Structure 1
Amino acid sequence: MTFPSFRRAMLGAAAAVMMVPAVLSSALPARAEEAPKKEFEYVTLGDFTVNLPSSSRRMSYVVVSVTLETKSAQTQQFRDLSPRLKQAVLQRLMAMSVRQELRPGRTDPGVLRDNLFDSLAQLQEEGLKDVVITRLLYS
């Protein structure tokens, strides 16, 4: 191979390498547009601490962490309503405590979730997919 043909080959290779980013960048926006949007999002309501009735002098309580799974289109509505939603959760947990439905070893997380779902659906049913109990801790 002579120097001029070697030089042409090297320049051609360099040009090809320089074109790769341009070709890839033109393909990337199309892929970004095709990326599916999330159908559901999570809204964390936080931890709720509720005293439990006790016959002894020792205080006992339960900590329940609640997160909502919502449709993405309505997520902001749930965030805007979060003070009311938190109030509804706390009221339902306190009522369950008085009825002794929140007892260590006897609380069915499914029933707890259903109770909270019912309370929250009264405030904002549209867009509420699920209530997720992320922590259930007794002391």
Structure 2
Amino acid sequence: MHDLSRRRAFWSAAAAFTPALFGNAAWSASAAPPKPYEFFALGDFTINLPAPDRKSRYLLVSVTLEVKSEYTQEFRDLAPRLKETVLRRLMQMSERNQLRPGESNPASVRENLYESLAEIKEHGLKSVVITRFLHS
């Protein structure tokens, strides 16, 4: 038997034997359990910060939502409204001096954003995740 014929015979036997060993469910993508939550990125938000020295200061925040899988499409449909809400809340926090270069707390920002977003769509929203938090 040639080397190529041996390889074909080996792989044919392996293909026939593997489903019996592991079961057919191991090979189907539909057998994977559905994910209860999905991550939905809202994007990056840049906010100007007040600075006493008149230098330009800003905060860059990347926001991702953790939502129940069955509500992901509803959150996608509301994305423009959700983004506007995040931007508005960050601007309010900046105007109130709650966001200061080097002193802002990402956990506080996350909590504020969650409260604002829950007013728009609370059902299905598990968490707000800050994936980037950079000061200039």
TM-score range, shorter chain: 0.7 to 0.9
* Gaps in structure 2 of 5+ consecutive residues: 1-7
Is 1:62 aligned with 2:56? no
Identity of aligned residues (%): 52
Once the two structures are TM-superposed, the CA of residue 125 in structure 1 deviates from its matched residue by 0.6
Q: Label 1:60 to 1:17 Cα distance change in 2 as closer, same or farther (>3 A).
A: closer
Name the stretch that deviates more: 107-116 or 17-26: 17-26
What is the match of residue 116 of structure 1? 113
Is 1:45 aligned with 2:39? no
Normalized against structure 2, the TM-score is what? Answer: 0.82
What is the match of residue 4 of structure 2? none
Normalized against structure 1, the TM-score is what? Answer: 0.80
What is the match of residue 97 of structure 2? 100
What is the match of residue 129 of structure 1? 126
Is 1:21 aligned with 2:35? no
> Larger Rg: 1 or 2?
1
What is the match of residue 91 of structure 1? 88
Q: Deviations over 1:14-49 (max 9, x none)?
A: 989745423434665423344221111111111101
* Gaps in structure 1 of 5+ consecutive residues: 1-13
Structure 1 CA distance for aligned equivalents of residues 135 and 10 of structure 2? 65
The number of residue pairs the alignment matches comes to 126
Once the two structures are TM-superposed, the CA of residue 107 in structure 1 deviates from its matched residue by 1.3
Structure 1 CA distance for aligned equivalents of residues 15 and 126 of structure 2? 42
SS at match of 1:37: coil
